[in-house]
A and B are shown apart, each in its own frame.
Chain A
Amino acid sequence: NAGVMQNPRHLVRRRGQEARLRCSPMKGHSHVYWYRQLPEEGLKFMVYLQKENIIDESGMPKERFSAEFPKEGPSILRIQQVVRGDSAAYFCASSSGSGQYFGPGTRLTVT
């Protein structure tokens, strides 16, 4: 049973470009969470989605960030007009309702 998959693993964007991060949950999991880890810090919750629904986006920045989890396909975290401060590791986790299992993360570098 494949674990949580994220791609790309590393992403470099220039300031002002868009970043798209993908997350495929474990088979049978319908809950997806996105977290951000800034250098030398713990993980901070961003958004929680179930299929086609955003359940909790209390950790998402108000502008430039959006997330979706369509009926078919992976969950997408989208960052528009990236800035240097967006450089971080972005992790998604999936759950069937008990315990969250994390992907390997996408490391975003904004130059």
Chain B
Amino acid sequence: AQSVTQLGSHVSVSEGALVLLRCNYSSSVPPYLFWYVQYPNQGLQLLLKYTSAATLVKGINGFEAEFKKSETSFHLTKPSAHMSDAAEYFCAVSGTTTGTASKLTFGTGTRLQVTL
């Protein structure tokens, strides 16, 4: 069984400040981990994914995340927030094999607000 916990349903940062969105996972098998972003009334866009290669993963729009097995965490960071980063962010986990293990289990999401 797999699950994801996103700490903080709402996060507010100032423009130019560090963005840190927290994600902890639970998995009985080696996981793949993902961050997606959703803008209002749109679908999900893949930001980055961890698939058991490098533990520090760089994604689009300046985001990155680090897989820490000892802490079962996959937190998303960006050094300097931009107004356009305001959106809903979802962390997700899947198994590493194909078939039934490939379905994504999502966290409940974190809404990022960026203020001037």
A interface residues with partner B (beta carbon < 8 Å): 4, 6, 31, 33, 35, 41-45, 48, 55-56, 58-59, 91, 93, 95, 97-105, 107
Contacts and interface: CB of A to CB of B under 8 A. Distances in A.
Q: Which applies to chain A's interface (DSSP): helix, strand, loop or mixed? A: strand
Q: Which applies to chain B's interface (DSSP): helix, strand, loop or mixed? A: mixed
B108 A45 contact: no
A25 B106 CA distance: 21
Interface string B86-116: 0000100000001110111111110000000
Given A100-B104, A102-B45, A102-B46, 11 more contacts: A6-B43, A41-B108, A42-B108, A43-B106, A56-B100, A91-B44, A99-B46, A102-B44, A104-B42, A104-B43, A105-B42
B34 interface: yes
Contact of A33 (B36, B98, B104, B109): B104
B90 A43 contact: yes
Interface in B67-95: 90
